[in-house]
Chains A and B, each alone.
Chain A
């Protein structure tokens, strides 16, 4: 589906969750990544409705050095928080779509995770890698692109 810029969407399907050192490790090892990656680090204190605990987006600005490799490893859409001209330029340079999630909304995004399919690098704690199923993960498209998956525009 072509994600249009300046439009809110909700996504239902499989995503990868990682950040900082987890992402650095994946990129260094050349591990395959899913098409949609949510840059986040959960609290890992589950409650019934949130299997990884609170899990809001982290700042995209620290992850810009990994974008090129993420693209090569299979990612088409990155969801995180924060923007400025440097961020937008980086996503456009590597032809990656960028979705902005609401920063500081850990409880909201934590409850969007419905199932944990796989965990990697558990020794990194919150910075490990989590393959999960989400329902209606809300984000705003800052840099558009063509991404496979179930996306619903939010009016």
Chain B
């Protein structure tokens, strides 16, 4: 339990101030001035303790464990929220469309548990990427090529509205809820699919990595990782979820061993 609590400060700092994978986006930045701004931003955020992006978003806390009690999980969540709220932008929205009011330092996080890993992680969902989430339930008879083509079309129209270089997480199967969740979790845990999906994955990755995604409206391709997770699903209803991740890559996982 203590190892979880002791990891919170490091986790929040990495999420908001110096995401560990932000610099991995730099080689994808094609414009010299844009790159200078990104580099300077990474430096200033760390030095001045200013959030790397002002949109500190909505947080999903991910706890990997096999033995924590409900009370212990609640303590971890509460401690995380307290620490996060010391540095995050105060949100205004407590209830969508109605009852908007300042949340001040009381912004909550959502909690996800994973059972096959021990550690603590979190994902920031900002508006710039959240706006472009994809969810569609395909019939079991649909062709993979149709799915790839529709995802490619979706990203072509939207990816330059986010904060490129962008990364894409796709999840196929499960339930509609699970597909979107797994597409987000791919930013923490990467690919997870059976061997028979290797070629379909390569087809998907190629399709998304070759589209025009240029934050300046030119013809560049500023796409980073494409992740795929595949789950067992219903024979005639196959959900496909997709999430975007912006260049600062605000998804962090701290492994706490076995």
Contact = CB atoms under 8 A, between A and B. Distances in A.
A107 B217 contact: no
Contacts of B217: 83-84, 88, 100, 142
B38 A54 contact: no
A43 B105 CA distance: 12
Q: Give chain A's interface secondary structure class.
A: mixed
B89 A54 contact: yes
A102 interface: yes
- Which size bracket describes the interface of A in this complex? 35 or more
A106 B162 contact: no
B49 interface: yes
Given A8-B33, A125-B92, A108 B44 contact: yes
B174 interface: no
Contacts of B160: 82-84
A59 interface: yes
A35 to B, nearest CB: 23
A6 B176 CA distance: 42
Q: Give chain B's interface secondary structure class.
A: loop
Given A56-B53, A81-B128, A124 B37 contact: no
B145 interface: no
B41 interface: yes
A83 B50 contact: no
A61 interface: yes
Contacts of B33: 8, 138, 140, 154
A103 B222 CA distance: 13
Contacts of B41: 56, 102, 104-108
Given A59-B161, A104-B248, A142 B55 contact: no
- Which size bracket describes the interface of B in this complex? 35 or more
A82 B53 contact: no
Contact of A107 (B48, B128, B216, B246): B48
B190 interface: no
Nearest to A122: B102
Contacts of B45: 54, 106-107
27 contacts: A6-B216, A8-B33, A21-B92, A21-B100, A43-B56, A47-B48, A54-B52, A55-B54, A58-B128, A60-B161, A62-B131, A83-B216, A84-B158, A84-B160, A100-B216, A102-B34, A103-B163, A104-B52, A104-B128, A104-B246, A104-B248, A105-B38, A107-B44, A107-B51, A126-B54, A126-B89, A127-B92
Q: Which 8 A-B pairs have the closest CB atoms?
A: A103-B163, A106-B54, A82-B161, A107-B45, A108-B41, A43-B89, A107-B50, A107-B44
Interface of B: 31, 33-34, 37-38, 40-41, 44-45, 48-56, 87-90, 92, 100, 102, 127-128, 131, 157-158, 160-164, 215-218, 246-248
Given A84-B161, A111-B48, A123-B102, 19 more contacts: A43-B54, A53-B51, A54-B53, A56-B54, A56-B55, A82-B161, A82-B162, A83-B217, A84-B217, A102-B41, A105-B53, A106-B41, A106-B53, A106-B54, A107-B50, A107-B51, A110-B54, A111-B44, A111-B50
